[in-house]
A and B are shown apart, each in its own frame.
Chain A
Amino acid sequence: MAVCTIYTAHSLNTTSQITKPIKPHFGSHQKQQIFLFTTSKRIITTTPSRALGSDISCVAEEQKTIVIGLAADSGCGKSTFMRRLTSVFGGAAEPPKGGNPDSNTLISDTTTVICLDDYHSLDRTGRKKKGVTALDPRANDFDLMYEQVKAIKEGIAVEKPIYNHVSGLLDPPELIQPPKILVIEGLHPMYDSRVRDLLDFSIYLDISNERDMAERGHSLESIKASIEARKPDFDAYIDPQKAFADAVIEVLPTQLIPDDNEGKVLRVRLIMKEGVKFFEPVYLFDEGSTISWIPCGRKLTCSYPGIKFAYGPDSYKGHEVSVLEMDGQFDRLDELIYVESHLSNISTKFYGEITQQMLKHADFPGSNNGTGLFQTIVGLKIRDLFEQIVTSRVGALQSAKA
């Protein structure tokens, strides 16, 4: 978004603010009525309108789109997290209208999610021939990924390829317009240092322990074999990205049921890095203390196996972090409002917003355990980050003018 101030020669007191996004989409430049060119100081002046007796000066802030990286194993497509995130901003996420029916992109009013599988340099047959998995950096085009994410961040629309998950082929590209918030989701959002440096916030979803067989639709042996076969590449290229993430959501087996092997009850940890600009970690009761909390009691009835929270400072991959953990699952939503009222720094706009968001999407996977709760919290944190970045830009802009 560019903020322009128009001064007309006739009446100097009519100062209008144009806050329409100006998209310098190369190629269509010449056809536009208002001709814009940018100097190194990022001042845009219009040539033809000067002849009409007006002078337009724009101060375009250099980075318009906020970029969020979301790393998850085979995360593209399902994207419950994405739907929770867009819901926080209001509005639903939908695939681009009228395009490729197998497009992986999701668009809402504020947010666009692109799937990084679209940057595969080798298609399914190509990977097979070379004997590499999709996890292997050799099967991905990081140069193109960097160029296009950088362009979108600078407010330029791009023609992004589409990796078709049904056919396993690379389809003709689709046009991606720069949104307010761009989420890049997939296997390697934090792998390439150039792409990593473009991210305003990064999340790693560690769900490697949670594999739903019924959902995958094949037998236990084949799932085990698949995990085994992909593990070396996963450990070499995907897992190390955790160290760069600002927030990690870890899904682990419960500790409330001894020797649980059903995997229905989950222990979910939200690991939040300290000292990240515009991101203040959530805490329980008292910031920086170590707390274990069982909300079930006189004020709250829980069914077996109950709910247990834990909070405390820790270190993770060489970083100082705060960890919030939830073990167990909600049976009723009044439990959630009770829990929400004891959490601080959650960046809600009104009391009960987390509960309301969770209620809205009660049918999404993870809505009754820590996965849904922490995804919602991270969504609120991203909204807060977005608003703080916008505010700081406007502030910088005004002080630059003054």
Chain B
Amino acid sequence: RMYVRARAAPEGLTNKVEESIKTAEEVCAGDPVSGECAAAWDEVEEVSAAASDARLKKKSSDPLEEYCKDNMEADECRTYED
């Protein structure tokens, strides 16, 4: 079984990466140098890049910062310039 590490990525995208890898392997099994094979792997590249971006976005968010975006007036969020 293929090892897939994509914990925080949105469900749909993670499945899509797996799916597109499967398709690419099937397409390339027939003809490894065809345009179809290259296009299939290119899709893997694109989908996995999108998934990794989504993961990065999710990971980098700070819970307090996120909360303060919507609650600027809360005690834990107030900042004064001087």
Contact = CB atoms under 8 A, between A and B. Distances in A.
A229 B37 contact: yes
Contacts of B39: 127-128, 130-133
Given A127-B42, A128-B40, A222-B21, A216 B35 contact: no
A226 B32 CA distance: 11
Contacts of B3: 219
B38 interface: yes
A168 interface: yes
A166 B13 contact: yes
A238 B32 CA distance: 21
Nearest to A212: B52
Contacts of A168: 43, 46-47
Interface in B20-45: 21, 24-25, 28, 32, 34-45
Contacts of B49: 74, 77-78, 165, 216
A215 B49 CA distance: 9
B24 A225 contact: yes
B72 interface: no
B42 A230 contact: yes
A273 interface: no
Contact of A229 (B42, B53, B54): B42
B41 A229 contact: yes
A168 B28 CA distance: 21
A218 B53 contact: no
B42 A215 contact: no
A229 B42 CA distance: 8
Contacts, number: 103
A51 to B, nearest CB: 47
A233 interface: yes
B43 A230 contact: no
A217 B51 contact: yes
B50 A166 contact: yes
A133 B38 contact: yes
A78 B44 CA distance: 17
Q: Is the contact region of chain B dominated by helix, strand, or loop, or is it mixed?
A: helix
A217 B5 contact: yes
B38 A131 contact: yes
A219 B13 contact: no
B66 to A, nearest CB: 15
Name, among B6, B46, B56, the residue most crowded by chain A CB atoms within 10 Å (CB to CB): B46
A333 B17 CA distance: 38
Nearest to A75: B49
Contacts of A232: 38
B7 to A, nearest CB: 9
A84 B70 CA distance: 27
Contacts of A78: 49, 52-53, 56
A299 B38 CA distance: 52
B2 interface: yes
A134 B42 contact: yes
B4 A135 contact: no
A128 B42 CA distance: 9
A74 B41 contact: no
A52 interface: no
A131 B4 contact: no
A78 B59 CA distance: 13
B41 A165 contact: no
A214 interface: yes
A269 interface: no
Contacts of A218: 2, 4, 6, 17, 21, 44, 48
B2 A217 contact: no
A131 B40 CA distance: 8
A124 interface: yes
Interface string B44-82: 111111111111100010000000000000000000000
A222 B48 CA distance: 11
- 10 A-B pairs with least C-beta separation: A131-B35, A229-B41, A217-B6, A133-B42, A165-B50, A131-B36, A226-B41, A77-B53, A229-B38, A74-B49
9 contacts: A74-B46, A78-B53, A127-B39, A128-B43, A217-B48, A225-B24, A229-B24, A229-B28, A230-B41
Given A135-B42, A225-B41, 6 more contacts: A77-B49, A78-B53, A131-B34, A131-B36, A166-B54, A222-B21
